[in-house]
Structures are given as structure tokens and as C-alpha cells.
Amino acid sequence: MFRRALTVTLSLTFLFCVQASAQTVDELIKKSIDAQGGAAKLKAVKSIKTTGKIIQQGIEIPITIQQKRPAMVRVDVTFQGKTQTGAYDGEVGWKTNPFQGSPDPEKIAGDELKELQEQSDMDGQLVDYKAKGHTVELIGKEDMEGTPVYKLKLTLKNGDVRNIYIDAENSLTLKVNLKRKTPGGEIEADQYMGNYKQVNGIMAPFSLETKIAGQTVNQIVFDKMEMDVPIDDSVFKMPAKPAEKPKTEEKKPPQ
């Protein structure tokens, strides 16, 4: 009888802990979303155009990011008169890369496509995460360079994992840890968000710093963020490749 009662007690305790943990995760997520302005305000934004510069090895490179619902994004980076583009129109992902001899648009797949699909989610992965097929686990409370943070483990629907560090005081995201596949192999990177500013009642980071193995790789500083600006859907569509000139047959001399 005692053993059975103990088993029931342990089971109920375990169930309570699981429910409490799940509730805590959802409470933290709600606080984080509310700190940004609230889910309703985030979802009300139809488009965003952000301009700024990438700072890498002392060089400033202009960047423009355009996003539009339901799931469209385009990123343009200009350097020395050439523009590299990555875009997703909700169905097709494509890019141009004149710096590697590919000035014509070409379709992308794999991790390149997944990265653009993530960026096309204007609300962020935590908003309606269950409906999107993601899962979130509270790892615990930690100290991040002197700032108390909550660490959340976000597992995306596609299986990719993101560790999100949320400021315990103001509930804004300070860092995201992720892994990316590159031509040289898989790398682990930390993306730091800072310089939050309010735009149309929404708090958004105006500084993004990427570090690998503790070393800064680049920093993006945004100068301007416009919401609900008109952006035509054609901006995100893959352009047709320039028509190739028809080959002319060589005329053979008469025999």
C-alpha cells in the first residue's frame, strides 16, 4: 500500500513539475513577446524595410532587408558597385552572387533556403511557436557576461536547434546560439542583439553582432527601420535569366 501510494505521489509530483515547467516556458515567451510590443502589434505589421551597414574588418558595406507577409524576404548587400541578393517569395528561394562569378539569379536549396525561410517569419519563431510546429524547452537561468538571462532551447519544425538567451529583467532577446553549415563545414555562431529602439510601438534591435569561437566576425548596424511601407510582391520574385544570344553557324567556304 505504502509503495503504491509513494508511486502515485511521485507520478503526481512529476506531472506537476512538467506542467509547471511548460507553464513557465509559455510565461517567459509571453513576457518576451510583450516586451517587444505584444503579439497583436507584431502581427499587425504588414511589411518592414530595414537599411544599414555590415561592418567587417573595418569596411562598411550597405545592406537592405525587405520583409512582407505572409512569408517573403529579400536581402541586398552592395559592395564596389556590385549587389549580392538573397530572396524568398514564399515558395522559391533564389540568389545572385556577382562576387563569385554568379551575377544571374539561380535557385537555392538546403541551408541557404532554410536561412531565408527563417528570416521571412516577421513575427519571430517564438510567436505562435506551437502552431508553427516548433518546440521550446526552458534550460534554466544563467549569467551571461554579468547579465542574468533565461536560456530557452528552441527546436524548429525542420529539426534545427536555436538556444535563445532572454534578459531576465527586461525580457528582450540578447543572444541566439546556432549552427550553420558552410563550404568549410559546420560552424557554431553566437548572434548578439543590442541597441533596441522603439519603432511604431515595437522594440527592435538596431545592432546585430556575430561571433564565432568568441571572436567577432561581423556587425550589422541598422540606420533606419520602416514599417508598413509599400513593397510590391515582384521585388521577391526570381527574375528571369538574361536571354542567351543565339549561336550563329559558321559559314563554310564553297567547295
The string of pLDDT tens digits covering residues 144-154 is 999 999 999 99
Spatial separation of the C-alpha atoms in residues 140 and 174, rounded to whole Å: 15
Listed range (14-23, 107-116, 230-239) with the worst mean pLDDT: 14-23
- Which amino acid is it at 173? T
The string of pLDDT tens digits covering residues 28-65 is 999 999 999 999 999 999 999 999 999 988 899 999 99
Question: pTM for this structure?
Answer: 0.83
Question: Which backbone phi and psi does 72 adopt, to 5 degrees?
Answer: -130, 145
Instruction: Tell me whether the omega of the peptide bond preceding residue 70 falls within 30 degrees of 0, making it cis.
Output: yes
pLDDT band at 100 (very low <50, low <70, confident <90, very high): confident
Task: Identify the bridge partners of residue 154 per DSSP, sorted by sequence position.
Answer: 136, 162
Cβ neighbors of 179 (< 8 A, separation 6 or more) are 160, 161, 186, 187, 188, 189
Spatial separation of the C-alpha atoms in residues 200 and 93, rounded to whole Å: 30
The closest of 51, 134, 120 to 92, measured between CA atoms, is: 120
**Residue 243, pLDDT above cutoff 90:** no
How far apart, in Å, are the Cα atoms of 51 and each of 55, 62, 116, 154, 209? 13, 8, 17, 28, 16
Question: Which backbone phi and psi does 85 adopt, to 5 degrees?
Answer: -125, 140
Q: Which three cell numbers stand for residue 79?
A: 559592395
**Residue 7, pLDDT above cutoff 50:** no
Question: Which backbone phi and psi does 122 adopt, to 5 degrees?
Answer: -65, -30
pLDDT value for 2: 37
pLDDT value for 185: 75
String of DSSP letters for 13-67: HHHHHHHHHHHHHHHHHHHHHHHHT-HHHHHH--EEEEEEEEEETTEEEEEEEEE
pLDDT value for 250: 53
**Residue 223, pLDDT above cutoff 50:** yes
Cβ neighbors of 254 (< 8 A, separation 6 or more) are none
DSSP tag of 120: T
The closest of 50, 95, 47 to 67, measured between CA atoms, is: 47
Task: Identify the bridge partners of residue 97 per DSSP, sorted by sequence position.
Answer: 102
